Amino acid sequence: MVKVAPSILSASFNNLALEIDNVVKAGADLIHLDVMDGIFVPNVTFGPLIYKDIPRYEGVEFDAHLMVTQPEKNIQSFLESGLDRISIHAESTDHLHRLLQMIRNHQIKPAVALNPATPLAAVKWVLEDLDMVLIMSVNPGFGGESFLKGMLGKIERLKEMIQQQGLTVEIEVDGGVCPDNIRDVVNAGADIVVAGSAVFGKPDYAEAIRALKNH
């Protein structure tokens, strides 16, 4: 069954801890944390200090997606924030392999994120060093964007690459995933889907998560 990772970018920040508690109780498998610096993407969100104050839940991973320029400048603060997964954009650094090694050395699962126009060749030579590849199915920076259907083929080709190398790398898909398209996304090869408004935009979080899982 596909895993669902609600993105707190779409949650109410008036009581973030309660929002996270509610989606965990509703069946979330991961909590997705979007970090934006206003340079790599046009929006600005939050940094690692917020994560330290959020309660942890057994069996629920905290999944940070760093949409920042030159993440190597601030990676240490994220490594010390109690995160379970960290995704680095291939487009954001000249030192991708080094960053992935640093993440792994801190017992955190390393991942690479790819923007829609970035080819899969960007992860070819680091694929065996990863726990996950994050495929952006919208142009990053804002919530509530529409799914780019052309990414289905990209997901399929990535799944083939992983299988051909005999790896167990997970595929996470982020952007515009909803009950109307999740069947196609999962059939293409997604293991994890990030859901913002598809969960936090609904009155019943448990029902929203079930609608995604029971595609």
Q: Annotated active-site positions, please?
A: 34, 174
Range list of H helices, 68-190: 75-79, 96-105, 121-124, 151-164, 182-188
What separation in angstroms does the CA of 91 have from each of 12, 40, 123, 162? Answer: 30, 9, 11, 21
Task: Classify 189 in phi/psi space as left (phi over 0), alpha (psi -120 to 50) or beta.
Answer: left
The 10 Å CB-count burial string (b at 16+, else e) for 64-101 is bbbbbeebbeebeebbebebbbbbbbbbbbeebeebbe
